[in-house]
């Protein structure tokens, strides 16, 4: 939900709305604007409606926002496009297009090297390649694992393309920093809270190392 204040709303009135939302257990994000202030209410929409915020002093209207992932929503949390650099390649921002291409699964050095040359010639900014490939059947090909990371490291040096690969287990982060430039933490394959917490903890620890940590993206 989005609470839009009137242009004349005072700081005390804005604080009163925030306090009412937080008392209900709703996260309130204040977004000052050029003419008015909006307050993003992240939490239970039904609970926000029951608060009757429209009757509070300084409130202009309460607008429901149907978009999911409100913390990542451009309308709610960001006033400009997100952009970051990975080894000199710019991702996001709207001024350029970053093409990341490569094999779903790293199967051999020859295959990966050949694909790297092809995607580089086609204008790709980065090479992606899956090292760990969880399957439903334990008898199906699970990816080359750490050997694939080593292949990606060598191909990165040969092609000059930054490498994007995926973390799927709490066991893989410590093997990745020197081999891949960017890591994806995949909700579909990193299924447990422990895995997510371990990945986040590892990313924090990497920031204190001499080796620059991989850039994290989320699929």
CA distance 22 to 28: 7
Q: Which three-class secondary structure state does DSSP give residue 70?
A: helix
pLDDT tens profile 18-33 = 999 999 888 898 999 8
pLDDT tens profile 30-65 = 999 888 999 988 887 888 888 889 889 999 999 887
Domain segments of the chain as ranges: 2-72, 83-217
Q: Is the pLDDT of residue 210 over 50?
A: no
pLDDT tens profile 94-140 = 777 888 999 989 999 999 999 999 999 999 999 999 888 877 888 88
What's the whole-number average pLDDT of the chain? Answer: 77
CA distance 218 to 75: 19
Nearest in space to 183 (alpha carbons), one of 168, 196, 166, 171: 166
Q: CATH 3.90.1300.10: does it fit domain 2-72?
A: no
CA distance 113 to 163: 12
pLDDT tens profile 153-200 = 999 999 999 998 887 766 555 555 455 555 554 444 444 444 444 544
Model confidence, pTM: 0.53
| CATH tag, 83-217 | 3.20.20.70
CA distance 216 to 165: 10
CA distance 8 to 36: 8
């Amino acid at each position: 939900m989005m609470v839009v204040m009137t242009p004349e709303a005072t700081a005390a009135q804005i604080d009163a709305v925030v306090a009412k939302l937080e008392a209900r257990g709703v996260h309130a994000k204040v977004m000052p604007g050029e003419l008015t202030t909006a307050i993003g209410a992240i939490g239970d929409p039904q609970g926000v409606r029951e608060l009757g915020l429209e009757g509070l002093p300084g409130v202009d209207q309460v607008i429901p926002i149907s978009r999911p992932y409100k913390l990542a929503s451009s309308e709610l949390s960001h006033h400009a496009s997100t952009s970051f650099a990975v080894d000199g390649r710019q991702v996001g921002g709207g001024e350029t297009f970053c093409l990341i291409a490569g094999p779903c699964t790293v199967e051999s050095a020859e295959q990966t090297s050949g694909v790297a040359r092809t995607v580089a010639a086609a204008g790709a900014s980065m090479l992606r390649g899956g090292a760990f490939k969880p399957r439903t059947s334990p008898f199906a090909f699970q990816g080359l694992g750490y050997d694939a990371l080593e292949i990606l490291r060598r191909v990165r040096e040969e092609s000059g393309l930054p490498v994007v690969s995926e973390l799927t287990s709490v066991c893989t982060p410590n093997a990745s920093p020197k081999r891949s430039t960017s890591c994806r933490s995949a909700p579909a394959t990193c299924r447990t809270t422990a895995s997510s917490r371990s990945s986040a903890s590892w990313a924090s620890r990497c920031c204190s190392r001499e080796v620059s940590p991989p850039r994290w993206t989320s699929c």
